[in-house]
Chain A
Amino acid sequence: MLFFILKRLAQSVLVMAVVSAVSFSLFNFVGDPVNNMVGQDATREQRIEIRQQLGLDDPILTQYSRFIGNMVQGDFGLSYRIKRPVDELIFERLPATLELVFVSAIIALVVGIGLGIYTGIRRHAWASRAVLSVSLIGVSLPTFIIGIALIYIFAVHLRWLPSSGRSGTVDLGGWKTSLLSIDGWRAIILPAITLSLFQLTLILRLVRAEMLEVMQTDFIKFARARGLSERAIHFRHALRNTLVPVITIIGLNIGGLIAFSVITETVFQWPGTGLMFIQAVDFVDVPIMAAYLVFVALLFVIINLVVDILYFVVDPRIRLGN
């Protein structure tokens, strides 16, 4: 197991090296940063001074190693637009995004696995067919349409929930959470549902397919022949055997949730990192773009590492070797 984890760590380091190279190259290929920082009437001397301050005249490898060195220490430089350290900006925005992703992942998991089991067991029930048909909407409609539809129904028409923004936050030593107040929950519920729908459908259909397959296996037949109750068969024997592929997909998709949150955050004006990224793109605020890229890649790498370790927990055949 140690060998396996070391191997995965080495692969992760390689991935991060490639991503950091790409994000570093942003600085050099997305226009001259000095132009973005100074006004049109800046003098030549001012420009040269800024160039020297930023170290843009150094050889490219020197710049790259400085970038890596700073990045490892969490220093991504100053935002061109807001003129504040990027890491500070990201950590301010991070709680909003992480809470949104957390809530929508919970919705996707609980509802997705629950309905997946139901439709897998009661294959021919009327409700199963209905769930499957409706779930198609989850995959076939783009996120922003679903978001706008939800806003129209629940915020504009019924006036139950706020249409955008994040309110009712409580400060927990620097981490502003919206999960501790009713206003906070009212604000998070629509974006979370919007973000979760696609993942929910995917999980639902995967769990259902796996469930159908496992129910055909010999050990389920043998469990029936021993007279075990349907409950024990479904939940003790079948469900756990469906989990290995489900964990893989969920792992990849939590990364996906963070990436998709860009769209959802824009639709709902949710003040998270995704919205910050979109605004950074508008202003060609390269340090933020580069940092966001590295940050998302790091999340993906960590999540996949956790997934690989989870295999060991779930499946004794991997844990104990053959």
Chain B
Amino acid sequence: MTELLKINGLCVEFPTRRGTVQAAKDVSLTVSPGEVVGLVGESGAGKSTIGNAIIDLLEAPGRVSGGSILFQGEELRGRSDAEMRMVRGNRIGMIFQDPQTSLNPLMTIGAQLVETIQKTNDLGITQAEARAVELLEQVGITEARARLLAYPHQFSGGMRQRVVIALALAGDPDLIIADEPTTALDVSIQAQILDLIKDLCRKRKLGVIIVTHDIGVIANIADRVVVMYRGDVVETGDVAQILGAPQHEYTKSLIAAVPRADRKMHRFSSVDYIEGGHQPSAKIDVQTHWLGQGAKHENTGPAIQVEGLNLSFVLQKALLKRNRKMLRAVNDVSFQLEPGETFGLVGESGSGKSTVARLIAGLYRPDAGTVRVLGQDVTTAPHSREARRARRAVQMIFQDPYSSLNARMRVMDIVAEPIRFYKLTSSEAETRKIVGDLLDHVGLGAGAALRYPHEFSGGQRQRISIARALASRPRILICDEPTSALDVSVQATILNLLKDLQSELGLTMLFISHDLPVVRQMCDKIAVMRNGQICEIAPTEQLFESPQHAYSRHLLDLMPKMDLLARAPA
């Protein structure tokens, strides 16, 4: 079989002030026509670097320092920019991660398509438009001709990714490099986009490189897999072999860290190979520590009780009420959390799950309905002393560890802020001692207190967020997609930490996620949300084994099939 792309001993380096970073070391891989090659690894593995190096679009100051890139038998290294421009788009197409930002917001998609088509083919404007319509139809966009005049913001995320794919196909390339093409999309959309890519690959005999961190995507689409770890290819092979019988230690731990959807485990498999797998063991004895001795609430009822919650957002303003466009983000939602339980809220983006969390935390005020925290109504008089005291028992952990910490504050002050605000200690020395203990307990070590957030990785930052949430001695934690921005191995350690804290402190948890396997491992009870409404509330095992609502079944069907994965015997 003739190879479409043959990379041999590719090295990419990034010279920096502190010395040269080797982003890719001696990487070799091949892609044949009609084949999907998955390039998998965690952040910093160098997988995107490979894709960028192939089309010579490495970010400055990166450069290829060795090896060869043979595309259809021709060497791509050392070509001039003008020559590479004839390769890009015409022979190699590229798809990027975030369809929200890949398209020029100020140009109609028709103009962007026509521009690209005219660059790659010698066509007049009407012919180019006809070709644009054809391309949009091929990627599954209906009423394509009318859509040419639409702007990117008028499309949903999944539709935009289809437009991006159409643009990548405009020059009729032989190789597509897709860099995390579905990471920013909902599961149902993800499945459609992957099917589309697979279909195009088969029909057009395209070679496809899928760069991803998601084992689920690999399992669904790839024929062969290349596993990368810190710039090295650690393992290459057939998808069934890599996922089913991994040879390298890293591949094994990576696969073990993927949360299981098929049954509930006590803990997430901890991964030793990966950074952050080891934890400083300076734990504190919670029972005797300050942390475990918060004000006791004499409440025996539900920890959180939500009744008939409603909230609408104004989408389009108008003078007349009937002309206003409203979005019912939360539509008559009721549920309750028993003390000590973990309650999962699942749904796709736009289902209103984060809005519910924000309503409970008091970040939004509902249009109607009540929220009771530990028996205390916090919605009707949100600023009363009782409501504030009750709300102190609720703390939030947000999704994005990069934007949820103030970059200009030291970790000490970030974690101490709730303690100082609520005056929970008698002296500054005590506060500092407690912050140190908290940081020890979440696995960062007290030494972290003097540093700034940017010095930490995503997972470590999420530990800081957890320490900050614990600092007001809460009874209830709201975790809004706490691990969706993290690599799987780091995700496993963070989720284990949350589980440990919950059992030590007897916390009640509201756990919001779109990731069903994670939810199955974490939660006792689950509510499925769609369009602002709750479809179904059921105990976890019952929901996964015999979902009642049609939408729950639909969501479960969309979970990536992981049958190929090597698993410890059940």
Contacts and interface: CB of A to CB of B under 8 A. Distances in A.
Contact of B107 (A3, A222, A236): A236
Interface stretch (B113-121, B199-207, B503-511): B113-121
B170 A226 contact: yes
Interface string B119-162: 11000000000000000000000000000000101100000000
B16 interface: no
Given A225-B88, A225-B89, A240 B106 contact: yes
Contacts, number: 91
A118 B167 CA distance: 29
A228 B101 contact: no
A226 B171 contact: yes
Contacts of A317: 105, 151, 153
Given A226-B88, A227-B89, A227-B90, A221 B57 contact: yes
B315 interface: yes
A160 interface: no
Contacts of B559: none
A241 B152 CA distance: 14
A180 B86 CA distance: 50
The listed residue with most B CB atoms (<10 A of its CB), out of A222, A227, A240, is A227
Contacts of B315: 321-322
A40 to B, nearest CB: 60
Contact of A224 (B57, B103, B120, B167): B57
Nearest to A214: B104
A3 B94 contact: no
Interface string B164-179: 1001101100000000
A232 B114 CA distance: 13
Given A225-B55, A317-B151, A322-B315, A237 B104 contact: yes
B120 A227 contact: yes
Interface stretch (B69-77, B226-234, B316-324, B490-498): B316-324
B88 A224 contact: yes
Given A3-B317, A227-B89, A227-B119, A219 B171 contact: no
A240 B104 CA distance: 10
Contact of B104 (A227, A241, A320): A241
A320 B87 CA distance: 36
A77 B11 CA distance: 81
Contacts of B456: none
Interface in B175-203: none
A241 B105 CA distance: 8
Contacts of A316: 105-106, 108, 151, 153
Contacts of A218: 96-98, 101-102
B420 interface: no
Contact of B106 (A223, A228, A315): A315
The listed residue with most B CB atoms (<10 A of its CB), out of A219, A229, A236, is A219
A227 B84 CA distance: 8
B119 A322 contact: no
A226 B89 contact: yes
Interface string A197-234: 00000000000000000000111011111111100100
Interface string A295-322: 0000000000000000000111100111
B85 interface: yes
B319 A3 contact: yes
Contacts of B86: 227
Contacts of A225: 55, 57, 88-89, 93-94, 96, 168
Interface string A1-24: 001001000000000000000000
Interface residues of B, number: 39
Contacts of A217: 101
B125 to A, nearest CB: 15
Nearest to B97: A218
A93 B84 CA distance: 60
Contacts of B319: 3, 6
Contact of A219 (B103, B108, B153, B168): B103
Nearest to A316: B151
Contact of A228 (B87, B116, B154, B168): B116
Contacts of A219: 101-105
Contacts of B104: 219, 223, 237, 241
Contacts of B105: 219, 241, 315-317
Contacts of B98: 218
B164 A222 contact: yes
Contacts of B96: 218, 221-222, 225
A316 B112 CA distance: 15
B132 to A, nearest CB: 13
A227 B151 contact: no
Interface in A1-51: 3, 6
A222 B103 CA distance: 8
Given A3-B318, A228-B89, A321-B316, A222 B94 contact: yes
Nearest to B81: A230
A32 to B, nearest CB: 48
The listed residue with most B CB atoms (<10 A of its CB), out of A228, A314, A315, is A228
Contacts of A223: 104
Nearest to A315: B106
Given A228-B116, A316-B106, A322 B153 contact: yes
Contact of A320 (B85, B154, B168, B171): B154
Contacts of A320: 151, 153-154
A232 B101 CA distance: 18
A236 B120 contact: no
A315 B104 CA distance: 11
Nearest to B103: A219
Nearest to B151: A316
Contact of A229 (B87, B119, B153, B154): B119
B88 A227 contact: yes
A225 B58 CA distance: 11
A219 B84 CA distance: 19
A217 B96 CA distance: 12
A6 B104 CA distance: 30
B107 A237 contact: yes
A224 B167 CA distance: 12
B87 to A, nearest CB: 7
B94 A228 contact: no
Given A316-B153, A320-B154, A228 B119 contact: yes
15 contacts: A221-B57, A221-B96, A222-B167, A225-B55, A225-B89, A228-B85, A228-B115, A229-B119, A240-B106, A240-B107, A241-B105, A316-B105, A316-B151, A317-B105, A320-B154
Interface of B: 55, 57, 84-90, 93-94, 96-98, 101-108, 115-116, 119-120, 151, 153-154, 164, 167-168, 170-171, 315-319
Interface of A: 3, 6, 217-219, 221-229, 232, 236-237, 240-241, 314-317, 320-322
Nearest 6 A/B pairs, CB to CB: A227-B89, A227-B88, A225-B94, A218-B101, A226-B89, A316-B151
Given A219-B102, A225-B88, A316-B151, 4 more contacts: A224-B57, A226-B170, A229-B85, A321-B316
